[in-house]
A and B are shown apart, each in its own frame.
Chain A
């Protein structure tokens, strides 16, 4: 498919190699793993302490009009 292009792009310029011109794009093993690693972290359940914290911050705000 795009293999020829990739091989051609390889030689000189070096920097932007993969299909989309993105060295961390979907054609890069490192790029895919990075996203997998990060997506797993992002999809982790958020502990309730953070919602509690925001509620607490809201309450301790100097009494003023809300919104």
Chain B
């Protein structure tokens, strides 16, 4: 078995912030996320020879992390992520005022999504993967990712009471402008 190259090690280190972000998005828990990243790094190290240099290391690592997450969930018998009480409390999100949507409210809304939808919208909308890459990471068809993203987006809009994003009436546009200025 070949030794792990310095380049591979450096790339692993460089990928840690993204891995942690993805792990938190999946687990919704910082401690579990870091344990998951640790497992991922150990696995990646062990099977470094199966990585094809020149291909997307980040996608490869995300795949490992995701598989690890779901296998842990299976082992634990899919413990429920959140209690119903907390969910209900989080449902009470105020309608966005002047297009300003609180990040905390957003986080709460994201947490309410089923895992498959949450991971899809994160991979596409935040991690910068293409639909093809996301499909590969999740081991499903591109069309499946597309429909998950679309359902996730609709659900988030419902929870956060964002209306009009699809319509772009005059109100929606002024909302967009305000939102942009605040970013």
Interface residues of A (CB under 8 A from B): 3, 6-7, 10, 14-15, 17, 23-24, 26-44, 46-47, 49-51, 53-54, 57-58, 61-62, 64-67
Contact = CB atoms under 8 A, between A and B. Distances in A.
Given A30-B153, A31-B125, A32-B179, A58 B4 contact: yes
B38 A34 contact: no
A34 B101 CA distance: 11
B176 A29 contact: yes
Contacts, number: 119
A54 B12 contact: yes
A41 B155 CA distance: 22
Contacts of B165: 28-30
A50 B176 contact: no
Contact of A34 (B5, B41, B122, B166): B122
B101 A33 contact: yes
Interface in B141-161: 149-150, 153, 156-157, 160
B105 to A, nearest CB: 9
Interface string B151-181: 0010011001010011111000101100110
B17 A24 contact: no
26 contacts: A3-B173, A10-B166, A17-B166, A27-B176, A28-B165, A30-B125, A30-B162, A30-B165, A31-B125, A33-B103, A35-B125, A35-B126, A37-B103, A37-B126, A38-B25, A38-B122, A38-B127, A40-B103, A41-B20, A42-B17, A42-B21, A53-B41, A54-B13, A54-B45, A57-B4, A57-B41
